[in-house]
Amino acid sequence: MSILLLLLRIVSYPFFILLHLLFVLFSLLLRTYETFTSQSTSADRLQDEPQIPPPKHLALILVPSKTRRKDEKSALGKSILRGIEWSGEWGVEELSIWDGQGLTQSVLPNLMKTLSQNITQHNHNKLPPSPPSTPPNGPTQDISPDEYDEEGPVSPSPQRKQGKSLVKETRVGSGSGSGLGDEVRSVTIYPGPSSNKSLKIHFLPPSASDEVIVNLTKRYVERKKDVSEITVRNVDRDIKEQLHFTSDPELLLIHHLSPLPIWRSYLPRSPPELWGYPFWSLRITEIYQYPSPLPLLHHLNPLILSFRSSSLPFLRKLGYSIALPVNTNSDGYGILHREEWNGAIGAWSKMEQRLGK
């Protein structure tokens, strides 16, 4: 019997190898066809579509590589700044950022300084010219003395006398018994001096995932909470309190800080993963990961553009019938690309969340 099974395995191996090769080949053909036929999710095309309310809470997962690259921290910082800028443009109220390895926390002091400077410059450019006698209406950052880092304050910007500050930082968990200490950092950004609309940003540390449930269980035990009081609604409320969430994420965008090796880019795409993001809050969430493009195809863009500008009608028609392959590394390796963001917006515009109704 064992010899028969061994013979069956030997005979089946070539069949399974052939089946796998056919699957890979079919996947390559399908992805190539999609690359040259699907239109780019450009901002202009999205503006032509019916406007829908943006998600109240957007989660951004920035996935570091297993072997850390030298410029990965820089790519993470630029990706965070882009996510914040585009969230403000889109009208998102809440943005949570996660990498699962503490990389965000290591760049947070410099990131906060850059963020404050960018907002100062952005709003300075939007303000109308003031008379010489009018004092400057600059943005501020309100941070209490106990919220200073060891490197000093995040920004030396002055305090405004009237209105809200444009950047306000708070740390969540201190003195609340949550067990997360001062690790969960929340920053509230006001996009303009006269705007009441704010964007709340949460920088989630690695301890904000599984340890949240552990710390919450310990707190229930210490308070001798009755089992009948531990309901789903109460757990939801307590976890949101620990993470400082106002609402659950409605859209989750996954971005890899390191591009795939060329040989892996030709294999079938891997399914999206959460990479340790706090799972409890993901009740009804649209999870989006930009389809990894086939490498080297973007080098055909000059040829396609030459077709579009040709004097021959059939070449122009051919050029406009072919989509330009996207190069997601055109702004730098590992940096969040606008095409990824617009793809998430397009996915959000097509989905429907009815909470089971």
pTM: 0.76
d(CA 54, CA 266): 34
pLDDT for 25 equals: 92
CA distance 304 to 312: 13
Structure token digits, residue 319: 């050029």
Q: Positive or negative, the Cα torsion across 118, 342, 77, 150?
A: positive
All residues at 6 or more sequence positions from 301 whose CB lies less than 8 Å from its CB, including other chains = 324, 325, 327
- For the stretch 157-174, what's the b/e string if a residue is b when 16 or more beta carbons lie within 10 angstroms of its beta carbon? beebeeebbbbbbbbbbe
Q: How far is CA 243 from CA 80, 180, 281, in A?
A: 19, 9, 10
Phi, psi of 32 (to 5 degrees): -65, -40
CATH topology of domain 56-124+139-290+337-350: Undecaprenyl pyrophosphate synthetase (3.40.1180)
Alpha helical stretches, state H, 38-50: 43-48
pLDDT tens by residue, the chain, 357 residues: 678 888 888 888 888 899 989 998 998 898 888 888 876 655 555 555 557 788 999 999 999 987 777 788 899 999 999 999 999 888 899 999 999 888 998 888 888 888 877 666 665 555 544 444 444 443 334 333 333 333 333 333 334 434 444 555 655 543 344 444 347 888 888 765 545 678 999 999 988 887 888 888 998 999 888 888 889 889 999 999 889 899 999 999 999 998 888 888 888 888 889 999 998 888 888 999 998 888 888 888 899 999 999 999 999 998 888 888 888 888 888 899 999 999 999 889 888 766 554
Six-digit token string for 27: 């996947």
Structural domain boundaries in the chain: 56-124+139-290+337-350, 295-324
Burial zone of 26 (CB within 10 Å; 0-12 exposed, 13-18 middle, 19+ buried): exposed
Q: What is the pLDDT, as a whole number, of residue 267?
A: 84
In angstroms, rounded to a whole number, what is the distance separating the alpha carbons of residues 191 and 85? 9
Asked if residues 348 and 287 have their Cβ atoms less than 8 Å apart, the reply is: no
3 state SS of 24 = helix
Longest CA–CA span in the chain (Å) reads 98
Identify whether the C-beta of residue 180 lies closer than 8 Å to the C-beta of residue 193: no
The predicted structure's pLDDT at residue 179: 42
